[in-house]
Structure 1
Amino acid sequence: MNTGQSSSYDRPTIALHWLTAALVLFQFTLAMIWDFFPKPEQHTMIVTHTSFGIVLAVVLLARLLWRTTAGRRLEHGSSLPDLAARAAHLILYLLLVAVVVLGVMLRWSGHNPLSFFGLTIASPFGPFSHATHEILGNLHDFAAWSIIVIAVVHACAALFHHYVLRDGILQRMLPGLASPERRRTLGTGQRE
């Protein structure tokens, strides 16, 4: 495991980060707009949302496995902003897990199979009450909105670091905009 020797994350970590972000934005947008469409299109959008929810679960699992095994970890300070950033990351991970689990349970609680690009997985549980289905739906929505709010704060903090503090924090997660230290390291022939 690489720790603190570089100012950038490794390529798989960067790719998984941005893939997670893209999937979250896609899923959230889809859920926000499907009520504006007629039933056939709405059903297709919900099934697509479910399929990409499973993709998000796989990406999240890959991200967690990579992070705990071979992924590069950067050293963090113990200042209040550093602690807040770590807390925000942990909360985002927990919310991502929660939104996926709640999404699966919501689908099954509505007496619908879990759909993955045409393949279906029937619920292993018995019937759920309407009240339970409603609670799961509200929790899923709350987790999704919480992810969006925290992700927006996260993005604003990254932009603040980039444009105001100019400390290179944002470049650590950008594949094409390497920090000066990263360019020097890559220029000496060292591999990521």
Structure 2
Amino acid sequence: MDTANSAHYDRCTIVLHWLTAILVVGLFALAEIWAFLPRGTPTRKLLQSLHVSFGLAFAAVLLVRIVWRLSAGRRLPRASGGLPGLASVGAHFLLYALMAAQVVLGFLFRWAQGEPFSFFGLFDVPTLIPLSRDVRHFYGDLHNTVAWCIIVLAGLHACAALWHHYMMRDGVLRRMTSGG
């Protein structure tokens, strides 16, 4: 890799990163907003339908992101070693694990509800694992808890990027804002 491009992630990695961030925040916001609406209202049902559809999009983006990361993408040298480097690697691994768990929990929760779900009305997602409705609250609560964990960890991730950018001035944030 030439030195001119080593300071930036590739365009695909950057697009997948920011698309993931937008989807995570958007999915979280949809769920938090509908919680204030009365059950059964058209607006609440619309927000839930959008959440499911964008959740399916998130699942696809996450899968592409994982395949890209494991195959061709994200080829930057580690900027720091020691405890900061270990914390960075650990936080990224935990974010990926939580996001993957969230996708699985979303499917399990929806299947436990016994309701069909579709992708923007274009196609229905079949029930691959029939689950008892008795477990829907368990999966729903876990889905909510993992969502909060993702939001907190993503917030810390964003704070660390801003710390690097404004306090350390080491170019870490710029790596994810423009392609090489």
Normalising to structure 1: TM-score of the pair?
A: 0.85
The residue aligned with 2:31 is 31
Closer, same or farther: CA 62–127 of 1 in aligned 2, 3 Å:
closer
Q: Which has the higher contact order (CA 8 A, sep 6+)?
A: 2
Closer, same or farther: CA 3–68 of 1 in aligned 2, 3 Å:
farther
Q: 1:44: how far off?
A: 1.1
SS at match of 2:128: coil
Distance of 2:118 and 2:63 partners within structure 1: 19
Out of 102, 105, 110, the position equivalent to 2:105 is: 102
The residue type paired with residue 61 of structure 1 is: L
Q: 1:50: how far off?
A: 0.5
SS at match of 1:36: coil
The residue aligned with 2:63 is 61
Is 1:161 the counterpart of 2:173 in the alignment? no
Aligned-residue CA RMSD (Å): 1.8
The residue aligned with 1:186 is none
Normalising to structure 2: TM-score of the pair?
A: 0.91
Q: 1:95: how far off?
A: 0.5
Q: 1:127: how far off?
A: 4.3
Contact 2:9 2:75 in 1 (8 A): yes
Contact 1:114 1:123 in 2 (8 A): no
Contact 1:9 1:172 in 2 (8 A): yes
Closer, same or farther: CA 126–60 of 1 in aligned 2, 3 Å:
closer
User: Which stretches in structure 1 are left out of the alignment for 5+ residues?
Assistant: 179-191
Distance of 2:130 and 2:163 partners within structure 1: 49
Task: Please identify the structure whose Cα radius of gyration is greater.
Answer: 1
How far does the alpha carbon of each residue in 1:107-155 deviate from its partner, in whole angstroms, 9 at most, with x for none?
Answer: 110111122111222323334142x111101110111100000000000
Distance of 1:151 and 1:9 partners within structure 2: 19
SS at match of 1:74: coil
The residue type paired with residue 54 of structure 2 is: F
User: Which stretches in structure 2 are left out of the alignment for 5+ residues?
Assistant: none
Q: 1:93: how far off?
A: 0.3
SS at match of 1:167: coil
Closer, same or farther: CA 45–161 of 1 in aligned 2, 3 Å:
same
Number of aligned residues: 175
Distance of 1:160 and 1:124 partners within structure 2: 44
Out of 125, 145, 155, the position equivalent to 1:121 is: 125
Contact 1:27 1:53 in 2 (8 A): yes
Distance of 1:136 and 1:95 partners within structure 2: 14
The residue aligned with 2:11 is 11
Contact 1:3 1:74 in 2 (8 A): no
How far does the alpha carbon of each residue in 1:74-93 deviate from its partner, in whole angstroms, 9 at most, with x for none?
Answer: 12232101110110000000
Distance of 1:13 and 1:125 partners within structure 2: 33
Query: Structure 1 residue runs of 4+, over 4 Å off?
Result: 2-5
Distance of 2:75 and 2:142 partners within structure 1: 32
The residue aligned with 1:74 is 76
Q: 1:3: how far off?
A: 9.7
